[in-house]
Structure 1
């Protein structure tokens, strides 16, 4: 693979601007999101920002209790895709979680030549204030992103270095004609830009980030996900879809300690990317255990290992929480499915690892900050 190839006509960048409409079905959902960790005194974090589009097929779709029509499967897509979406942004400044800084429902326009936007206009005196977001791609594969809301926003660029496989866009396509998903991920991106805080202060930030566009043409099942960045730029991540009683949980809050950890993984994917060697290590087995006492935030015990004797072990300790509620009315509006998407800025505690017989810890890698997703319910 030519890692230096980063023109927008390469496959990952083309896929970032399509929902593959011929594959979509009644269960489909589409997501585009950026997670940004600015370079600060103790590493990449603890400050953290998230920007996202979220869309769902259906006549009545709710995102955080804002209801509108969802994606229309019968829409005409000929180079331009117009569909309903939700535009969202939150900002954790290391002390306070500012949620819902951008939360707009409206019609998005996405073109195959790398442009996507959803803006709503609001009259303020003689002016019209735009709220929403845009995500445009230039010829070199650099995203130009602008999200703005009443209480905050960001205008930044995001790109990959293409120095290795881990610092290049990744495409995953799995499933069959009935259920499938397609993923574009940039796990080791770089960002730089200007961000507006809830205090209406503009700050300049740069650091490392994660971008993902995922199309899921199947009922949304629960999962656990993590992306952690260390001060030297090394990155660890896992993805664990699972089954358990959590699929039937429809409310916020947590079970007792016994019930919370009743998780049976469907599959596991985890990797560690060493920023110094540019080598990525894959782990065939990952165990993630949510630990809860029924109140407060849970923490996550993480262990990844492979047959070569490599392992990663740590505790992902949440320091804040935000919740994203996705609902869909079905059966002539008599019932609504509910899927709860929890995000937690985390600190990596008690980190230890052995890769290629070399021991790693925070003495070598520096502090680890990141993001955990913990979802439950089921979106039918």
Structure 2
């Protein structure tokens, strides 16, 4: 039996982003709204970055970074069990567990909010996305760009009743304030619904000054790739690579060497993390079998980007990309 899959690059983002709560989560299913904010920083500092995630998982008990989380089945989106997690790299220091708290989540047709000690909300207003984290962080992420790669993309895959659905926006323009300081940058967003065990993965998202984007995703089981996706958008043309590989090189912080290949081009680049935060998930299946996953996130930049024409063997000139900011992930273990 083949997996059912579909991908659409045309969708009503404002209508779809919260509608998954219109039906109960299946047992073990996991739902989250995930933001990464890449914040332009003076040259003397490393790029600032903030991650926030609102999530709900239909499991009776799960431990994350030492916090026990109990979640009942979400049946009413006006109030349901959930968790908010966030970290912030301020240019010098990583603030782990900026928020790591079980809470009540409240959702409507265009908004989700939490009653955490530091209140949070995310609201969609046409092409604007409004995000507030207490009084210190107030962001507006605006969808912009005519290319289909910059528009909301929806993907879905299902096999024997298990699978995932994802809505993502690869790049948005960011404005706002941090502690009343005006900031600018870019943002990445995804909403994910998973109804299957989560496998280990490599993932990365990078934004260039000229509007370019580079993203990759490589989940693995027993060390073997089960999906290979690598996209490079130079702000005008989109390059897609179905063959790809990621190599982790150990150090104080790891470095990732990434390569990809299509029928016409090859690409190689190096991912250089400069900070790190992580989430460690632990639960017991049937109350006896341990199931653990470590989800590592690395604020990063990329270097040594090389795009080559396979037929001629010559490098394709990539002009005016400018600096880049981004995030790389490496998750290990399996969460059942």
| TM > 0.5 fold call | yes
* CA deviations over 1:11-48 (Å, ceiling 9, x no partner): 33323213356584223111211111123455996221
- 2:303 pairs with 1:349: yes
Give the C-alpha shift of residue 297 in structure 1. 2.0
SS at match of 2:320: helix
* CA deviations over 1:318-368 (Å, ceiling 9, x no partner): 111101122233323x3442111100011212221247976245x632223
The corresponding residue for 1:377 is 333
The corresponding residue for 2:267 is 312
Residues 23 and 75, structure 2, Cα contact 8 Å, conserved in 1? no
The corresponding residue for 1:137 is 124
Taking the aligned partners of 1:374 and 1:316, their CA distance within structure 2 comes to 12
The corresponding residue for 1:155 is 138
Give the C-alpha shift of residue 239 in structure 1. 0.5
Residues 156 and 191, structure 1, Cα contact 8 Å, conserved in 2? yes
1:80-159 map, 5 Å: 80-111=77-108, 113-120=109-116, 130-138=117-125, 140-148=126-134, 153-159=136-142
Change in CA separation of 1:21 and 1:270 when aligned onto 2, cut-off 3 Å: farther
Give the C-alpha shift of residue 230 in structure 1. 2.0
SS at match of 1:166: helix
Taking the aligned partners of 1:98 and 1:226, their CA distance within structure 2 comes to 21
SS at match of 1:163: coil
SS at match of 1:27: coil
The corresponding residue for 1:182 is 165
Give the C-alpha shift of residue 224 in structure 1. 0.5
SS at match of 2:115: strand
Taking the aligned partners of 1:25 and 1:46, their CA distance within structure 2 comes to 39
Residues 193 and 206, structure 1, Cα contact 8 Å, conserved in 2? yes
Q: TM-score, normalised by structure 2?
A: 0.88
* CA deviations over 1:109-147 (Å, ceiling 9, x no partner): 112x21111113xxxxxxxxx523111112x23111112
1:1-380 map, 5 Å: 11-19=12-20, 22=23, 24-41=25-42, 46-72=47-73, 75-77=74-76, 80-111=77-108, 113-120=109-116, 130-138=117-125, 140-148=126-134, 153-176=136-159, 178-196=161-179, 202-244=180-222, 263-275=223-235, 277=236, 279-292=237-250, 296-308=252-264, 310-332=265-287, 334-354=288-308, 359-360=316-317, 364-380=320-336
Which blocks of at least 5 consecutive residues in structure 2 are unaligned? 1-8
Residues 200 and 331, structure 2, Cα contact 8 Å, conserved in 1? yes
Q: TM-score, normalised by structure 1?
A: 0.79
Q: Which range is displaced more, 349-358 or 86-95?
A: 349-358
SS at match of 2:184: strand
User: When the two structures are aligned, how many residues end up with a matched partner?
Assistant: 325
Taking the aligned partners of 1:18 and 1:358, their CA distance within structure 2 comes to 45
Change in CA separation of 1:67 and 1:20 when aligned onto 2, cut-off 3 Å: same
Change in CA separation of 1:360 and 1:55 when aligned onto 2, cut-off 3 Å: farther
Taking the aligned partners of 2:136 and 2:54, their CA distance within structure 1 comes to 14
RMSD between superposed Cα atoms in Å: 2.5
Q: Which range is displaced more, 23-32 or 317-326?
A: 23-32
Taking the aligned partners of 1:349 and 1:109, their CA distance within structure 2 comes to 41
Taking the aligned partners of 1:280 and 1:81, their CA distance within structure 2 comes to 40
* CA deviations over 1:271-301 (Å, ceiling 9, x no partner): 11122x2x22111111111122xx6222111
Give the C-alpha shift of residue 103 in structure 1. 2.1
SS at match of 1:313: strand
Give the C-alpha shift of residue 316 in structure 1. 0.5
